[in-house]
Amino acid sequence: MAIVTGPLFSLEARGKIGNIMVHFPWKGRKVVRQWLKPTNPRDVDQKIIRQKLAAMGKNLGVIETPKTGLPGGSKMYQLLVPVAGAGQIWNATFAKQTLDYVKTDANYVSLLSELTNQVTNLADWQSAAVDLGMETLTGPQFATAISPEMQLFMGAYAAYKLELESYTESYAVHPSFWSTEVITAFVSDYQTTM
């Protein structure tokens, strides 16, 4: 039930009126909008979207709050802040690079195939992801499992799309061609500060 103060003058209203409208304060203003029944779809397509977002979220979590508790942020964080476009924040810029590509299932499968079939150092990707504390994304909220190495590979793809350059390495080459040294430098950029 809605709580109304000064009903004839409409000074303040909060809450739902029937299943028609909702009154609420927003940024200091009193607003009203159409009431919409909340939904939380659990179909396969929604689960696939959630798992892709979660995979990029694992990268962002490691970059922003590394286990070492670096006061100025990790090297990767410091590389991303300047490349964020006007009106964007670093994490949105980073995640967008991969999510724009893997939004279609065909592109996601292609990226997964590049990791599993083209790289010659899959064990390096696996150990690097585990070193960062990434775990397999699995559970009822996801359609399939995403391995730790795929999560890290998605982060590497974002660094490649942004053509990031660390003091030690350039990430302007597709990650399927990265050497063990580049993977190690990439993980180091997640965990150390400049």
90-109 pLDDT tens trace? 999 999 999 999 998 899 99
Are 28 and 64 part of one and the same domain?
Answer: no
pLDDT tens readout for residues 51-83: 999 999 999 988 876 555 666 778 898 899 899
Sites in the chain below the pLDDT cut of 50 = none
Q: What is the pTM of this model?
A: 0.77
Other Cβ atoms less than 10 A from the Cβ of 121: the count is: 14
Which residue reads 């103060």 in tokens?
5
Containing structural domain, residue 19 = 3-34
**Token pair belonging to 38:** 């909340």
Within this chain, do residues 49 and 28 fall inside the same structural domain, yes or no?
no
> How far, in Å, CA of 140 to CA of 152, rounded?
22
pLDDT in the model for residue 27: 82
Judgement on whether residues 15 and 73 belong to the same structural domain of the protein:
no
Same domain, 48 and 30: no
Residue 92 has what pLDDT?
92
Cα(178)–Cα(184) distance, integer angstroms: 10
Q: How many domains does the chain have?
A: 2
Strands 21-26 and 12-17, by their bridges, are: antiparallel
Domain for residue 103, yes or no?
yes
Are residues 50 and 109 part of one domain?
yes
At 33 the pLDDT is 87
For residue 98, is it within any domain? yes
